[in-house]
Structure 1
Amino acid sequence: MSACVIGHITVKDADKWAQYRAQVPATIAPWGAELVFRGLTVKVLAGEHAHTDTVVIRFPDQASVDGWYQSAAYQALIPLREQAADLVLISFSD
């Protein structure tokens, strides 16, 4: 059963966000993950949505999501991420 992480993002510092984004692929590769989508919100069709950007990353399973998120490589990026953007990360599986 595959699993995905969706990030809803509001960038606070574009330079730091670019640094963070450049380093994330190396943290997901060991977990067999792939970037599915990264883009800007065009329109909210229903309800409220405060963030401007969205990312979707597919993992082979939930264990891979958990391993990636808890990995030393990704944990090292969290301080940069927090300086760069406000975001919500959601994990789900099919």
Structure 2
Amino acid sequence: MPAYVISMMSIHDQETYKKYTDRTPDIVKKYGGKFLTRGEEVITVEGTPYTDRMVILEFPNKACVEDWFEDPDYQKAMKFRHASSSMHMLLIQEGGKNTTDPDPKL
């Protein structure tokens, strides 16, 4: 079942961050991943406007996400991200029990 990675980052050094983004597409592809969105405009429908960068990735399954994250080349690329931004990265695995006919009590 597909797994999704949602990354929300605040970038404080664009030049260094670009060293990260230059390296990631091939590594994502290596594990069957694809970018669903990569830094496009985020429209806030409700709440405080979101103005930072958001990336959403889709992978074939959770194991592919774990392998991608542990890849030595990705580990090296992450050093540029760590040096240039702060981030929240979330993993969501599709297939929860409450998706087809959601229980209104949950």
> Do they superpose with TM above 0.5?
yes
Q: Percent identity?
A: 20
| Count of matched residue pairs | 93
Say yes or no: does 1:7 pair with 2:1. no
Q: Which amino acid aligns with 1:28?
A: V
Change (3 A) 1:67 1:51: farther
User: Is the Cα contact below 8 Å between 1:8 and 1:51 reproduced in 2?
Assistant: no
Q: CA RMSD in A?
A: 1.6
TM-score normalised per structure 1:
0.87
Structure (1/2) with the larger strand percentage: 1
Q: In terms of Rg, which structure is larger?
A: 2
How far residue 22 of structure 1 moved from its aligned partner, in angstroms, is: 1.1
TM-score normalised per structure 2:
0.78
How far residue 47 of structure 1 moved from its aligned partner, in angstroms, is: 4.8
SS in 2 for 1:18: helix
Written as runs of structure 1 = structure 2, the 5 A alignment for 1:43-62 is 44-47=44-47, 52-62=52-62
Partners of 2:45 and 2:60 lie apart in 1 by 30
1:70 alignment partner in structure 2:
70
SS in 2 for 1:29: helix
1:16 alignment partner in structure 2:
16
